[in-house]
Amino acid sequence: MASKPATPIASAGYILLHQGFTEWLQLLGYSVLSIPALSGTISHFLQYQERNNKAAIEQLEATDANQFLQELQARKAYSNSHINKQVQSLKLFSKYIRETGRSPTGFNLERLPELRAKPHWLTKPELQALYEATNDSVLGIRDRAMLAVFYGCGLRLNEGASIDLKDLDTTRMLLHVRKGKHYKERFVPVAEKNLEAIKLYIEYARPQLLQQTKTEALFIGANKGIKMDKQSLYIRIKKLAKQSGIKKKIGTHTLRHSIATHLLQSGMKLERIQQFLGHSNLDSTQIYTHLKNEAL
């Protein structure tokens, strides 16, 4: 479903409602990459309401969202994964209209089952090859700090991109993840070797990249000294993986899968890995038991 609707919303009230929802997402800190998709779904939903002669928020009923999704499901081209993205958007919209007093109506929506792809992970020799692909240049030092964050601390891409200097506690050897999934904060332990890599980057490489720009962001780009966004970080890890000669498809999430698998292999309890990764429930962490068994 495209983020920009082919037919614009007609109702003036719905136009303002859609604009308010988009601004609400921005205030909550949703990324510029995810907002268009979330907002686009609601645009399509409001158009659906108009087609059904419900062009005012006062006409909203709890079953409207379910009927909208049923119409989408009737189109065979849409996968369960795609429908679940619409469910996420509609749940957020339901929360928005209730929290802002637009409507007391809530949606009771269930996610559809999805076939979960088995995560990729790196063996320890492959990981060593990734580290050996770095060098002692300013960017090489930054690369090792990125590996320390995404592998050593197991951070998600968005979490790593959101880290500021103040989030690193060198005394307690902790990294404060403020923008975790579903806005959950957590403290992640930083091993001594990873801490050394991050500190070397902060003290030596980062000032050279920063130039005259002022930013508290941990990771700074090579051009103009501005904060690296998620895409830039991802591309850099992909480039490093290519230089290492590893044939697997590697991204930042591969590093997160890898540290979880390695921790399990070393004997760490599943519950501690769950806390380390910031998983809401143990089911999400259970996938690593399969990876461990394959590795043994």
**Which residues are known to be catalytic?**
156, 181, 253, 256, 279, 288
Q: Which long-range contacts link 51-55 to residues 24+ away (Cβ below 8 Å)?
A: 55/10, 55/11, 55/13, 55/14
Q: What span, in angstroms and rounded, lies between the C-alpha atoms of 219 and 246?
A: 25
DSSP bridge pairs for 227? 220
Residue 222, Cβ density class (10 Å: 0-12 exposed, 13-18 middle, ≥19 buried): middle
Q: How far is CA 87 from the centre of its chain?
A: 17
Output phi, psi for 87, to 5 deg: -60, -45
Supply the DSSP symbol for 120.
P
Q: Please count the other Cβ atoms lying within 10 Å of the Cβ belonging to residue 34.
A: 14
In 148-212, where does DSSP find H-type helix? 157-161, 192-200, 206-210
b/e burial code for range 269-278 (CB count within 10 A of at least 16 → b): ebeebbebbb
- Rounded to 5 degrees, φ, ψ at 293 are -65, -35
Q: How many CB atoms lie within 10 A of CB 71?
A: 11
Q: Characterize the bridge pairing of strands 168-169 and 186-189.
A: unpaired
Q: What is the DSSP letter of 167?
A: G
